[in-house]
């Protein structure tokens, strides 16, 4: 869980992170609330004017109710409203948005000359998610945030159709790496299971930057198929700018 305090000029004043040890709804929410309260106290913000709290989540939600829709990684997540839960704990305004929407707006704040542009933002993380900004505002009827990663592409290496996010995301790249290591009998399943997807991709990135061709091929493949997915979006939506983040 990451917290960042920004000023009115959009500069990050303080930031901090805390780990989570269980993927369960109430545990995560309780950790986030306690972490935020400690953060406010540690930086002596109790008597400061906090304009609001923005909660960024990795799945789509109803913007009016704050109820998450189809959370993919959280076990047992029900229809509890994040808005209501956090509003009961804090006195300042609270809003909830998909991670890609938050990142797209942050990019826009750093690009004042692009405020009138139509921007398509792709968030490459554990999966793939997107945001569409029209004239500086998130498109109210945009429904592709979590669907972009489900575009079907044909992987000639596997001779099968796969979802875009199963190739181009952190989880996708790590999954391909695990499979290749097992097929070649280079690493055991136990050793691979002890490595997170983030650790695998970070190691591959370091190796790729050092010029190792075996590591580079994972990123070349991801970039190739990401380009195929973006070509569909460009032909349909025709944005002024595409941002990868």
- Tokens 């972490």 belong to 35
| pLDDT single digits (tens) 27-64 | 888 999 999 999 999 888 877 778 888 888 776 677 67
How far apart (Å, rounded) are the C-alpha atoms in residues 20 and 10?
Answer: 27
Closest by Cα among 29, 41, 104, 19 to 71 = 29
pLDDT more than 90, % of the chain: 24
| pLDDT single digits (tens) 113-157 | 765 678 888 989 888 888 888 877 777 655 556 678 888 999 998
How far apart (Å, rounded) are the C-alpha atoms in residues 50 and 47?
Answer: 9
- Write down the pTM of the prediction: 0.70
Alpha helices in the chain, H assignment, sequence order: 25-42, 82-87, 99-109, 165-168, 170-183, 189-193, 197-209, 213-237
Tokens matching residue 137: 């505002």
What is the Cα Rg of the chain in Å?
Answer: 20
Residues in Cβ contact with 11 at an 8 Å cutoff, skipping those fewer than 6 apart: none
């Amino acid at each position: 869980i990451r917290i960042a305090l920004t000023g009115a000029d959009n500069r990050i004043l303080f930031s901090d992170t805390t780990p989570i040890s269980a993927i369960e709804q109430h545990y995560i929410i309780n950790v986030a609330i306690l972490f935020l309260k400690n953060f406010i106290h540690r930086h002596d913000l109790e008597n400061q004017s906090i304009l609001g709290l923005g909660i960024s989540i990795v799945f789509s939600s109803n913007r009016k109710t704050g109820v998450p829709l189809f959370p993919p990684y959280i076990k047992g997540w029900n229809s509890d409203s994040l808005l209501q839960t956090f509003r009961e704990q804090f006195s300042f305004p609270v809003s909830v948005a998909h991670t890609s929407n938050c990142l797209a707006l942050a990019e826009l704040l750093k690009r004042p000359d692009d405020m009138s542009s139509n921007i398509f933002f792709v968030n490459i993380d554990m999966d793939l998610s997107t945001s569409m900004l029209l004239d500086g505002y998130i498109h109210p009827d945009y429904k592709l945030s979590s669907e972009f990663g489900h575009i079907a592409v044909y992987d000639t290496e596997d001779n099968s159709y796969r979802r875009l996010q199963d190739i181009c995301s952190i989880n996708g790249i790590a999954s391909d790496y695990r499979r290749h290591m097992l097929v070649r009998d280079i690493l055991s399943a136990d050793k691979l299971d002890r490595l997170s997807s983030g650790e695998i991709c970070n190691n591959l990135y370091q190796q790729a930057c050092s010029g190792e061709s075996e590591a580079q091929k994972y990123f070349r493949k991801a970039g190739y198929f990401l380009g195929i997915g973006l070509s569909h979006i460009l032909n349909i939506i025709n944005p002024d700018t595409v941002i990868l983040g």
